[in-house]
Amino acid sequence: MEAIKAKSIIKKTFFVYVPILIIAVLLLSNLFVIKPNEYGIIKQFGKVVKVIDEEGLKIKIPFIQSVSKLPKHILFYDVPATEINTFDKKRILVDYYTLWRITDPVDMLETLKTIDAAEARLSDIMYSSVRNELGKLEYGQIINPADNKRGNVDLVVQQNINDILKSNSNGIEIVDIQMKRIDLPESNEQSVYKRMISERASKAQEYLSQGDAEKTRIMAEADREVAELIAKTSSQAKEIVAEGEKEAARIYNDAYGQDVEFFKLYTTLNSYKTSIDGETVIMIPIDSPYLKYLMGH
């Protein structure tokens, strides 16, 4: 009897707790958590029936519904470097990156399916738009930030891509796009470097020639100014000498007029100092006026 009772208890326990356990397992397996930076997309028989954009613990119908998650936050995509031709037929290698996000998870899943497929789509559209826009600029305008409109080009590329994504209902958009670097393809890198060196050498020679010409002009101008200054000062000096001689003659005449005899004495004595020394022999008549003061007359 006890054995029959034990079997009955086990049977009742099995039929009570096993279903509860199965239900609990089913419930737990169909619970899921949506994080603050995620979209939760519930599909039923492959069709999206609900988008959950609030974080928290959620539940789905077992066996019938499935859940996929997509990021809400901004995503970074490093676009593969591509070769393009500039307006002046130069071939360059451009490397871009972009920041993008999902704006409509339903459209995104229906048209692009996955994040990888979305980035592949971005790469295709971006290559086409970048090639078209940079193809309108010359090589020098692209590599020289002070002489180009590359910032405007990036904005134009961003707008073009967003217009295409919107028209195709892809459910994503570009937040920002920036060029990381510009390189030359290996096939023509050395030839471009040599041409740049040649151009810089030619420019340097041009500057040297301009410097020499300016030097010659400055020296000629300085020589002309010196000649003019010397001529002017020489003329002024002659005028001053003439004025001095004129003034000396006036003083001489004034002095001569005040005492004629003294002036004769003074000039005669000065001439003695000049013409007579220890070895001088003068042959003149004794009654010559020149000997008047020398002889004591």
Report which of 87, 182, 199, 192 is spatially closest to residue 138, judged by C-alpha positions.
87
Question: What are the structural domains of the chain?
Answer: 2-71 (no CATH), 75-183 (3.30.479.30), 259-291 (no CATH)
Is it the case that residue 277 has pLDDT exceeding 80? Answer: no
For residue 287, count other CB atoms closer than 10 A to its CB: 9
Tell me what pLDDT residue 155 has: 87
Which of 41-55, 152-166, 195-209, 246-260 has maximum average pLDDT?
Answer: 152-166
The mean pLDDT of 140-153, rounded to a whole number, is: 67
Main-chain dihedrals φ then ψ at residue 14, nearest 5 degrees: -60, -50
The mean pLDDT of 148-174, rounded to a whole number, is: 86
User: What pTM, to 2 d.p., does this model score?
Assistant: 0.53
H helices present in the chain, as ranges = 2-29, 105-111, 115-134, 139-143, 150-167, 186-258, 260-275
Tell me what pLDDT residue 101 has: 94
Distance separating alpha carbons of residues 193 and 190, to the nearest angstrom? 5
Per-residue pLDDT reduced to its tens digit, 33-60: 788 888 888 888 878 778 888 777 767 7
Tokens (6 digits) for 117: 């497929």
Tell me what pLDDT residue 135 has: 86
Higher pLDDT, 32 or 209: 209
Report in angstroms the alpha-carbon separations of 45 from 42, 61, 63, 65, 67.
10, 11, 10, 7, 11
The distance of Cα 159 from the centroid of its chain, to the nearest Å, equals 25
Q: Is 279 helix (H, G, I), strand (E, B) or coil?
A: coil
The mean pLDDT of 128-152, rounded to a whole number, is: 76
Confidence of residue 188 (pLDDT cuts 50, 70, 90): low
Tokens (6 digits) for 181: 């670097």
% residues pLDDT > 70 (the chain): 68
Tell me what pLDDT residue 166 has: 93
Per-residue pLDDT reduced to its tens digit, 1-21: 555 555 555 555 555 555 665
Q: What is the 3-state secondary structure (H, E, C) of 71-120?
A: ECCCEEEECCCEEEECCCCCEEEEEEEEEEEECCHHHHHHHCCCHHHHHH
* Mean of per-residue pLDDT scores for the chain: 78
Pair 130, 124: CB distance under 8 Å: no
